[in-house]
Amino acid sequence: MSERGRKYQSDILAILRRGSAPQSAYDVLGELRQSHPKLAPPTIYRALASLMERGLVHRLESLNAFVACQCGEHQHSSILSICEDCGKVEESVVPDLLSVLTNCVSASGFRPRRHVIELHGVCASCGDVRVPA
């Protein structure tokens, strides 16, 4: 595993942890530029790539955004649930999830190596305050 981007990894992780909702690479860049005005996009993307390799950050493919991993254990199978109201993301660890999905597609002989599972919906606190239909 390479170590590219390590210089700003802790700063970026702190920024992602501070925000309750996912942030885009350019959101992070904007924040970091307050202290390091000359930072350019590749620096951010390199650091995010390393953080993702290490399992400390997840990329939300359906939002083009990033969140800090919320569990102590990294390198796990997880579901990312995105609230369409408040934007917050919850991470659910499901140890055998990948094997369940593998079974679903095993008929075709496909062998998964990485998975993307993102749910869009309404989180508990936003659902509570909603007027019933």
Instruction: Using CB under 7 A, list all residues that contact DNA.
Output: 2-7, 24-27, 38-43, 45-46, 64-65
Among positions 1, 124, 129, 133, the unique one binding its own copies when judged by CB under 8 A: 124
65 neighbors 19 (Cβ within 8 angstroms): no
Cβ proximity to DNA, 4 vs 54, nearer residue = 4
How far is residue 108 from each of residues 93, 97, 112, 115, 122, measured CA to CA in Å? 26, 18, 11, 17, 33
Q: Which residues of 18-57 are buried (b: 16+ CB within 10 A; e: fewer)?
A: ebeebbebebbbebbeeeeeebeeebbebbbebbeeeebb
Cβ proximity to its own copies, 1 vs 124, nearer residue = 124
Binding partner of 84, given DNA, its own copies, none, CB within 5-8 angstroms per partner class: its own copies
User: Contact between 14 and its own copies (CB under 8 A)?
Assistant: no
Applying CB under 8 A, which residues contact its own copies?
61-62, 79, 81, 83-84, 90, 92, 94, 97, 100-101, 104-105, 107-124, 127
